Amino acid sequence: MKYLAQPWQTLCHHLNPSCAFCGETRIPGYPLCQHCHAELPWLSVEDQRPLPGCTASVSAFAYQAPISSLLLGIKFGRNLRELATLGELTATGILPQLTQVPDAILPVPLHTARLHKRGFNQALELARPLAKQLGIPLLTRPIQRRKSTLPQTELDASQRQHNVHQAFQLHTSLPYRHIAIFDDVITTGATARELAAVLRAQGVAHVDIWSCARAILRQKHELDPQIDYH
């Protein structure tokens, strides 16, 4: 919580002291009430599963309700207020888990055509509070998505890897030794790992993969047929 004591958040709290989810009185300087905060599927350091080819993988939440429905609602309903709230919550989940602060955050870019259609890059908007609170740059220009890939959620694991192969192109060398890639959801990690390989080929020594949510199988009854857990 210590990262959330920003003056503007205190001001927002005084202007609108109700929980962003349920309308009850919220925790001072924080978007949610105690109950809603406690109900979220937070991940801890022990819950994280390393992804091949990255230094550290850190996600704030398990990809399950209500985070999964919030993310889908934001993506298709353009609810920017909910997006800002989820960005704050993501920072709350990720910051205490960091052992090293990277030099910069690189949100997974959207292809220009999809960006124009949607109007915003969800990964970029969710990463803003993290970059601000860590005081590090948010990289939005150096990498372009050069093919308009299919949504990963519609594909199986091998299709996903093929779908993102050579999807990214770096325009310029990056003066950083440690970069955190940020995506809204990590499922197989194929997209983030493809991007990590591009960064490492350019001499970035340490690449973290961070996300708002990660598909992690905790109990059998939580299996989601839309997700490939391998």
Chain residues binding Zn ion by CB under 5 A are: 19, 21-22, 24, 33, 36
Q: Which is nearer to Zn ion, 15 or 201 (CB)?
A: 15
Q: Which residues make Cβ contacts (< 8 Å) with residue 120, sequence separation at least 6? A: 78, 80, 83
Please, what is the minimum distance in Å from the beta carbon of residue 94 to Zn ion?
21
| Residue closer to Zn ion, measured from CB, 14 or 116 | 14
Taking the complex as a whole, the smallest distance from the CB of residue 23 to Zn ion amounts, in Å, to: 7
Min dist. Cβ of residue 110 to Zn ion (A): 31
- To Zn ion, the closest distance from the beta carbon of 20 in angstroms equals 7
CB 20, CB 85: distance < 8 Å: yes
- Residue number with CB closer to Zn ion (57 or 85): 85
Provide the sign of the torsion angle of the four alpha carbons 169, 193, 116, 129, taken in this order.
negative
CA–CA distance, 40 with 52 (Å, rounded to integer): 27
Given the complex with Zn ion, which of 27 and 197 has the nearer CB atom? 27
Contact 47, 219 (CB under 8 A): no
* Rounded-to-integer distance, Cα 150 and Cα 152, Å: 6
| Nearest CB to Zn ion, comparing residues 19 and 106 | 19
Asked whether 40 and 66 are in contact (CB, 8 A), the reply is: yes
At closest approach, how far in Å is the CB of 28 from Zn ion? 14
Residue from 211, 217, 163 nearest 191 by CA = 163
